[in-house]
Structure 1
Amino acid sequence: MSSRRSLIIVNEEEEKVGTFKTEQETFWAGSFGNNYTLRNQGNKWIASNLALFSRILTRTIEIRSVIEFGANLGLNLRAIQQLLPEAELSAIEINPKAVEMLRNLANVKVYDKSILDFSPDYRSDLVLSKGVLIHINPDKLAQVYDLLYETSNRYICVAEYYNPTPVEISYRGHKGKLFKRDFAGDMLDRFDDLKLLDYGFVYHRDNNFADDDLTWFLLDKGRSKR
């Protein structure tokens, strides 16, 4: 690749980073997000995801489409694709390097944009957020909750760091980048027709399928018209 072409790519990424509404979006679209994408690769994560999603999906029926909010390079979707090989998969991702990797996956529709700029063009049977809501600016959470709800045809799964009350945590030396709270509780309070179907915890010291100390919640809107 020529140096001129490299410069063009850098400038395109810088222009994109400059268009965001919050500092958290800029953070994840830039070099930190690039390094995160490169750091979090490997089959062990897919194995852990297979264990997690096989448990979650046993509580669902008729999943024909799945969309992930903040899919990064697609480790969650790769596991779901093995469990639901006929399902239509979609991904929303803000980081350009992660988007490149997502586009190498077969049969995944990629929305190259911030979640805050996303507008659903159709509903998916399952909407997933895993380790993403914790990085959303708290002032924008209501907008994201509405997007999760409106994008879902029936199920919403959130797998995040849980805390009964909102709290900010330092994240790899950065302030204002990680927030714990009861995300599922917020959504249950916000949408009267949402029901808690199941929940669980995945532990970083699990003997076989270690994960990132996430608490997951499967929420159900009930049957919707397709």
Structure 2
Amino acid sequence: MRDLSEQEQFWQGDFGNRYVERNVGQPLVAGNLALFAKALTRTSRIDSLLELGTNAGNNLQALRQLLPHCELFGVEINQLACAQAKALGIAQIWHGSLFDFPRDRGYDLTVSKGVLIHLAPTLLATAYAQLYALSQRYILIAEYYNPTPVEVSYRGTSGKLFKRDFAGEMLDRYPDLHLLDYGFGYHRDPQFPVDDITWFLLEKRP
């Protein structure tokens, strides 16, 4: 077994547990449902999807309502979050690092929402490779956007939150990826507020 990076250990531990406790509840699920409904409008026939960094399952709950016949899979490194996601009974949840998740099969859609922002820049190439290799057609990236890479202090910690053009970097890295759609979720939305997330829907094309 490989040694986990400092960042992976960080999210496995107490800070990750507190993150789980802060980020639960039906209002979050409702906001996610509205965001995913927009983000996936231009897709067709998603029968399976994999979320890298599932946390307690808020995104998967929204996706279950939106895609009731889709097989849902999630990957989560934090044990508390993993247990909560499994308890929902709506998806197959794999406990471990997204970097170690096996590429035994492909999925119609791979998803990263609020995950890439928390990875050290040196880990991004491997995360991009997982999103790409595990996708049979679509990749959805929903993260904090900035045209140039920037680090942001996060709850008194450094090296734990970054903003950049994640989708643009994937488009540059993989020539068969194309931008299918994109949009923004605003924290002041009067009905379905979300955390100022910019989403990008990418598609593999021959």
Quickly name the TM-score band, shorter chain normalised: over 0.9
- Where 1:103 maps in the other structure, the secondary structure is helix
The one-letter amino acid paired with 1:102 is: A
Instruction: Confirm whether residue 217 of structure 1 aligns to residue 194 of structure 2.
Output: no
8 Å CA contact 2:40, 2:201 repeated in 1: no
Instruction: Confirm whether residue 135 of structure 1 aligns to residue 123 of structure 2.
Output: no
- Kindly state the Cα deviation for residue 20 of structure 1 after the two structures are TM-superposed: 4.5
8 Å CA contact 1:64, 1:87 repeated in 2: yes
Instruction: Confirm whether residue 43 of structure 1 aligns to residue 43 of structure 2.
Output: no
| Percentage identity across paired residues of the two chains | 56
Gaps in structure 1 of 5+ consecutive residues: 1-15
- Where 2:136 maps in the other structure, the secondary structure is strand
Give the alignment partner of residue 205 of structure 1, picking from 188, 197, 201.
188
Instruction: Confirm whether residue 95 of structure 1 aligns to residue 78 of structure 2.
Output: yes
Once residues 164 and 71 of structure 2 are traced to their aligned partners in structure 1, the CA distance between those partners, rounded to angstroms, is: 31
Change (3 A) 1:20 1:135: farther
Give the alignment partner of residue 135 of structure 2, picking from 121, 132, 152.
152
> How well do the aligned residues superpose, as a CA RMSD in angstroms?
1.3
8 Å CA contact 1:157, 1:218 repeated in 2: yes
Residue-pair matches, total: 206
Gaps in structure 2 of 5+ consecutive residues: none
- Kindly state the Cα deviation for residue 83 of structure 1 after the two structures are TM-superposed: 0.9
8 Å CA contact 1:167, 1:180 repeated in 2: yes
The one-letter amino acid paired with 2:201 is: L
Q: Find the counterpart in structure 2 of residue 10 from structure 1.
A: none
Once residues 58 and 217 of structure 1 are traced to their aligned partners in structure 2, the CA distance between those partners, rounded to angstroms, is: 12
The one-letter amino acid paired with 2:110 is: V
| TM-score normalised per structure 1 | 0.88
| TM-score normalised per structure 2 | 0.97
Q: Find the counterpart in structure 1 of residue 100 from structure 2.
A: 117
8 Å CA contact 2:12, 2:77 repeated in 1: yes
The one-letter amino acid paired with 2:10 is: F
Instruction: Confirm whether residue 106 of structure 1 aligns to residue 89 of structure 2.
Output: yes
- Kindly state the Cα deviation for residue 56 of structure 1 after the two structures are TM-superposed: 1.5
Q: Find the counterpart in structure 1 of residue 65 from structure 2.
A: 82
